[in-house]
Amino acid sequence: MKKILVTGGCGYIGVHTIVDLVQNGYEVISIDNNSRSSITILDNAEKILGKKIKNYVVDLCNLKDTETIFEENKDITGIIHFAAYKAVGESVEKPLMYYENNLGSLINILKCAAKYAIPNFVFSSSCTVYGNPDVIPVTEDTPQKPAESPYGATKQMGEVIVRDAVKSNHVQAILLRYFNPVGAHPSISIGEIPLGRPANLVPAITQTAIGKLPTMQIWGQDYPTRDGSCVRDYIHVCDIAHAHTLALNFLISNQNTVNPEIFNLGTGDGFTVLEVINAFEKTSGVKLNYSVGPRRTGDVVAIYANNSKAKNELGWQPKYNLDEMMDSAWKWELTLKKD
């Protein structure tokens, strides 16, 4: 079995990707300092897989500590790099923290990839690299506008860093630009666990519905969209996870023709905030208590993906519709309540 290193493996997308990798024949080790995640989520993944996943509690911004993992694991075939801070609003408030953490950790993991001759690298990028696009849906070739937040800027810069780094070594890379991951694993054993008040829409919806939050706020209803609220491309986390497995397969089998390759990961459909709320109310039977507030700094008006390249070249096909995404997210929230 080929060994894959997943950074941020205790995070939301990271743990779902670990499950998908193992179920597709890979051996996986994880790095996560658990500053924004819980190690217990790997215990839940173990229930699905029937095997334990080793996690190294290491801060990737510390190069020496990071190198010890590569010294201990000389047989790593590929790296999937998730580890990063990801809250748009927080990045506006604490930009230097985001630049230091997100770029420093990426630079260190790329140094290790080069030093220890790791041939395959997958970078967790984001649709935020497009900024506020002039035309939607966006393709991989859509010109990038200025990022709307420091978080988005770290993804833009991260892509440049990967692109420049692979020119000088033998690492083959893929940049996966995904849109808005939501939902939970069909087993309802793993899902999203926001720390503090959730910054993302779907956990804010489910936490409000179950009573953890008294109400939730829609950030702006005066945008030039169907109902005045922002439009996003929501994609089930398991669909995102499987794309990472396919991306590794793509690199390992030498199918890439450029380095790095870039793929959008979205359903190709844009839904407004209000449409997502309506889908949740329909699938859960729960009426949501929400109010409308002012626009939030850092939010783009509307964005969704053209995903033809990922479908055609990776053989990737999103399986879950919006109702199924909302249903799994709600079941996960109910499971958390039991705990």
Residues belonging to the active site: 151
- How many CB atoms are located within 10 Å of the residue 256 CB? 16
CA distance 279 to 332: 16
Q: How far apart are the first and last CA of the chain?
A: 35
CB-count burial class (<10 Å; 0-12, 13-18, 19+) for 291: exposed
- Is residue 32 within 8 Å of residue 8, measured between CB atoms? yes
Nearest-CA neighbor of 109 among 173, 17, 203, 186? 173
CB-count burial class (<10 Å; 0-12, 13-18, 19+) for 50: exposed
Distances (CA, A) of 258 to 112, 160, 174, 255, 261: 22, 15, 9, 9, 6
Backbone CA torsion sign across 288, 149, 142, 17: negative
Give the burial string for 140-151 (b: 16+ CB within 10 Å, else e).
bebeeeebbbbb
Nearest 5°: the CA angle 33, 120, 125 is: 60
Give the containing element (helix H, strand E) for 34.
none
- Is residue 121 within 8 Å of residue 172, measured between CB atoms? yes
CA distance 40 to 46: 10
- Is residue 233 within 8 Å of residue 268, measured between CB atoms? yes
- How many CB atoms are located within 10 Å of the residue 258 CB? 8
Q: Is the peptide bond before 260 cis (omega within 30 degrees of 0)?
A: yes
